[in-house]
Structure 1
Amino acid sequence: MLAVHLGESEKLSMGALQKATLAKMPAGMGILEYGYKVWEDWSHKNLVIWKLLHSDSSMTADELRLYRDENLAVLVRAGTDDQIEAFSNTPNGTLFFLCHGDYPVRIGQFTSGASPRTNEKEGWQRRYRVFKEAVKTELYTKNSKKWMPGAQSTFKQVGAGDLAFFEGNLLKPYFETDLAELAVWADEFNKSECEEATPTPADNGAEINKNSKPTALGFNRIYYGPPGTGKTYTLMRLLESDYGADVVSAPADGIALVDAGPAADATVQRYSIVTFHQSYGYEEFVEGLRPVLNGDGETDDVAYEIRAGVFKELCHKARQAPDLRFAMVIDEINRGNISKIFGELITLIEPDKRDPLKGNAPPLELALAYSGEKFSVPANVDIIGTMNTADRSLALLDTALRRRFEFVPLLPDVRAVKDAGELNDPPLAGLIVKTSAGDIDVRQMLMRINERIEVLYDRDHCIGHAYFTLLKKEQNEDKHFDMLAGIFRNRIMPLLEEYFFEDWRKIRLVLGDNQKNDVNARFIAESDALQDLSSLFGSDHGLESYTTKRRYTVQPAAFANPQAYIGIYKPLA
C-alpha cells in the first residue's frame, strides 16, 4: 500500500517505505488525516469490490427476503461460466455490493467458501457479514457498464479504472461511505471469522455430518410494536419458510425423528413456542425439579427428578441436526422476569459464545443450576421474541436483554403504495367501504386516528392495521360496513377506553367528534354542563359549570352512521 502511494516500483523494506511516506506528509496535516489520505490513494487504484445481483426474475420475494435476513449471497444458474467461477474462487474477505434488481441494497464481505445450493434451484451460495446498508432506496439508472446494478451481469468486478466513478455515483450517494473506509474495513478482516468448508468430527460423541454446510451463527431478534401490527403473522411466515412445519406422527420422545432423519412424508418441527408471564421461570425454560410418584398407590412417596425445560430440549434437537436451523419463539417476552428465566443463559446466547458445531470445544460452557451439567447454546438455534409495546415500553426492558437482541419494529402499515425494494404489499391500500352515504377510506381513517394518538399519548399505543384486514378478506362488499361497525364497537372503542383511562375528552379528539357538526355522527356525546346541572340539582344549585365535570355517553347509533367514520379523517360541514 505504501509503495503504491509513493509510486515506487523497487522493492523497499517496510522501514524505508514508512520513512519515505512520512517525508511526503504535507506541512500542517495531522498524522491521522495523512494516514487516511494514504488509504484513499491506495483504494482508488487497488480496492477489489464486486457487484452481486439477486434478481426478482430468478428469485421469489420470499427468497429475496430470506437470503437478505440470513446474510446469504446466492448465485443461480443464470450466471455465465466465468461469473460462476469468479463467485466460487473469490477469496474470503472480498467486498461486494448486493443489488435487488436495479436497487443497491447493502455492502458485504464474504466469510465462507461457496457451496452448492440445497434446494431444487441449481446454484451456489456463500455467507457474508454486512458492512453498510443502503441509505438511499432510489432506482440506479446509470447502467452503462456491466458492474452497475441494472446491467445484465450477476457477479462482476468493478474495474480499477472505474473506482472513482463507482465512489462518486454509487458508493457515496447510496451508502454514505467511500473507498478509503472500505479499504480500512477490508484490511481489518479476520480470517478466524470465516466458516470452514467442512466441519471436523466432534469429540463429545455427537454425530456431525461431514458433508454438511457451515453452521451460521444464530441470531437473537425481537419483533415489537403496538397491538395489531402483524407481529404474529410475520412470525408465522418466518417459521413456515425457515423452520419447517409440524412433525407428522411424532415419536414419543420428540427427538427420535431428528436422530433418525425424517421420513419421506414427514417434516421436522424445528421450533418451540412459549409465552412468558410473571410465573414463568428457569425451571420451565432451562431445567428444574419435577415431582414424580414412587409406585402406583395414592399414598406413595413423592420424589423429585431433574427434567429439561423447553429451551434445553430444543438445543438437544439442534445438536443432532447441525445442517438445520431451529428457533426458540418467545411470545410476550417483555412480560417475564428475564433474569429469573434465562439465568446463566443470558451470557451463552450471545452469538460469539455459541457452539459452532464444528467438533471443537465451544467458546464458552457454563454449569446448569440444577444438574451441574456443562451446557452451551448451539449456533443453529435462533431466539425470536415478540413484545407488545402497549403493555410495556421498550425502554423498560432488562438492559442485559437489550444488548443481546436486535430489535425489529413493526408499526401500523398505512402505506398507499408499495415502495421500491419492499417485499410486502400495503395491507390497507385501496380498502374502501362503500355505503349509500359515501365511501369510507379505511387507510386514511386509521392513519388520522394514529396521528392523533401519537400526539395525545405516544407511538407505542397506536392501533394496528390488522384490526381491519378482515375487511379485505371478505369478498361480499355488502357486509363490509357492518363488519367495520362491529370492529369499532367491540375492539377499537374498548382499546381507546383502556389507553386513555376513560378520558372521554381525549377519545373524542382521537375520533374527530369535536369537528363534527352533525351530533348524530359523534361516537361520544358531550353534555352541556350548565343544562346538566340544572336538570340534576334544580335552578338554585349554586354550582359553577367550570368547577364540575362534563358527562360523556357513547352513542350506539353513531356506529351505524357512515358519516361518523368519514368525519374521522374528513371534517364534515
Structure 2
Amino acid sequence: MAGPATEARVKEVVDACDRYGGSSIIALAGAPATGKSHIAIIAAQRHAGEPTRVKEIQFHQSFTYEEFIEGLRIDSTGAVQPTPGVFLDWNEDASADPVADHQYVLLIEELTRANLSTVLGELLTYVEHRDRDFETLFSRTKARVATNLTILATFNPVDRSALSIDDALLRRLRIIDFLPDDGQLTEMLSQAGRSVAPHVIEKLRLIFEHCRQKHGPDYETLMPFGHGIFSEVYEESDLHALWHQRMKRILRRPLLDPHPFTDTIEEGFPWRTSSQFRLPSPPAPSTASAPPATPEEAVAAEPISSATPPSDQ
C-alpha cells in the first residue's frame, strides 16, 4: 500500500482510465522523475484488475508501424507473410476474452519518442470510434479496437518529439500533468530502510518550492527533474554523489547554455560542495520559562522533612 500522496495520484489515473479509456489515450505528461512510470504501472494493474492483462512497451525513434500495427515478415519457408504487430496482438487478446468485464491495458512508455502519426496509423481515428471496422495495411483484414482495451502512455512534454504532436493526436489524448510532488518526496524518503532526516527532506522540498516561486509559469514546463531523482538517496551522504553523477549533468551540458533553473537549484543544494557536508540540524525548540510560584504553591512544593521532631522535656 502506497502513502496517501501516491494513492491520490494513482486514483486520479485509474479514474481517468475507467471514464475515458474506452475512447481516448490516457497520457501522463511530466519532466523526468516525476513518478509517471511508477504511477502508470500501478494504475494500469488496478484498472485491469490483474497484472497479466497489462502489456508494457516503450516507443523509440526506430519503432515503426510494422512493429506496432502490422508488418511483413519472412516465415520459415522463406515466404513473406503479413504479421500482426504488438497492438493488434494485444487487441485480439482483449477482444477474445470471454469475460465481459475484463479490462486490458497497453502501457506505452515514452509515447512521443516515435513518429506518432506513422506508428499509430489507423488508431488516430479508430481509438475513438470503436464501433467501426478498419482495414489493416498489408493483410487487408478487418479489425476493431476492443472496447475493453485502454491505452495508457507516458511522455515528457518538452522533448523535441513531443513538440510536434499534431492536432489529430491531441484530440485523442486525455493528458494528466505530473509535477514534482512534495508529498511523494516525503513518502519516498521516509520509507523503512532509509535514514534521511526530516530537516534534510525539507531542504530538498524547498528546492522545488524556490524554483516554483522564482520562475513562475515556466516551472510547470521547464523544471528539469522531479522528486524521483532522489529515489536512490538512502542517507544524507548519497546526495553528494547524486549531484556529481547525475544532477549537474542535467543542468550543465557541454557546449550548451546552462538550464535556466541552474542557479536556483545550485543555491539550494549545499551537498554539491563536499562529500563530508551534513546539513546542520535545526535547534531544538526552547522550553518556555514557568511563571513564578504563588506563596501557597511554594509552601506546597517544599520537601517534607523526615527528621524526628524534638520531644517535650
Give the alignment's TM-score, normalised by structure 2: 0.71
**d(CA) in 2 for partners of 1:505 and 1:323?**
49
Shift of residue 414, structure 1, vs aligned partner: 2.2
Which residue is equivalent to 1:325?
103
Asked if 1:412 is matched to 2:180, the reply is: yes
Shift of residue 389, structure 1, vs aligned partner: 2.7
Asked if 1:561 is matched to 2:267, the reply is: no
Whether the aligned pair in 2 keeps the contact of 1:500 and 1:507 (CA below 8 Å) is no
Asked if 1:277 is matched to 2:60, the reply is: yes
Which aligned pairs between 1:117-516 and structure 2 lie closer than 5 A? 217-246=22-51, 269-294=52-77, 302-321=78-97, 322-350=100-128, 353-354=129-130, 363-392=131-160, 395-415=163-183, 427=187, 433-434=196-197, 441-449=203-211, 451-452=213-214, 459-471=221-233, 474=234, 480-498=235-253, 501-503=256-258, 507-512=262-267
Higher relative contact order (CA 8 A, sep 6+): 2
Shift of residue 371, structure 1, vs aligned partner: 0.6
For structure 1, the 5+ residue unaligned runs are: 1-59, 73-128, 130-215, 247-268, 295-301, 355-362, 416-423, 475-479, 524-556, 567-573
Shift of residue 273, structure 1, vs aligned partner: 1.8
342 and 63 in structure 1: CA distance in 2 versus 1, 3 angstrom threshold = closer
SS state of the match for residue 32, structure 2? coil
**d(CA) in 2 for partners of 1:504 and 1:348?**
40
**d(CA) in 2 for partners of 1:492 and 1:221?**
30
The one-letter code sitting in structure 1 at the alignment partner of 2:243 is F
Which residue is equivalent to 1:126?
none
State the identity %.
24
Whether the aligned pair in 1 keeps the contact of 2:251 and 2:258 (CA below 8 Å) is no
**d(CA) in 2 for partners of 1:439 and 1:399?**
41
Give the alignment's TM-score, normalised by structure 1: 0.41
Shift of residue 502, structure 1, vs aligned partner: 4.9
Whether the aligned pair in 2 keeps the contact of 1:224 and 1:388 (CA below 8 Å) is yes
Shift of residue 328, structure 1, vs aligned partner: 1.3
Shift of residue 560, structure 1, vs aligned partner: 3.6
SS state of the match for residue 209, structure 2? helix
Q: Residue deviations 1:242-301, cap 9 Å, x none?
A: 22445xxxxxxxxxxxxxxxxxxxxxx11222211221111101111012242xxxxxxx
Shift of residue 401, structure 1, vs aligned partner: 1.1
**d(CA) in 2 for partners of 1:71 and 1:278?**
30
Whether the aligned pair in 1 keeps the contact of 2:48 and 2:104 (CA below 8 Å) is yes
For structure 2, the 5+ residue unaligned runs are: 1-6, 283-313
The one-letter code sitting in structure 2 at the alignment partner of 1:448 is H
Q: Residue deviations 1:322-344, cap 9 Å, x none?
A: 32111111111111111111112
RMSD: 3.9
Shift of residue 319, structure 1, vs aligned partner: 1.1
Count of residues in correspondence between the two structures: 270
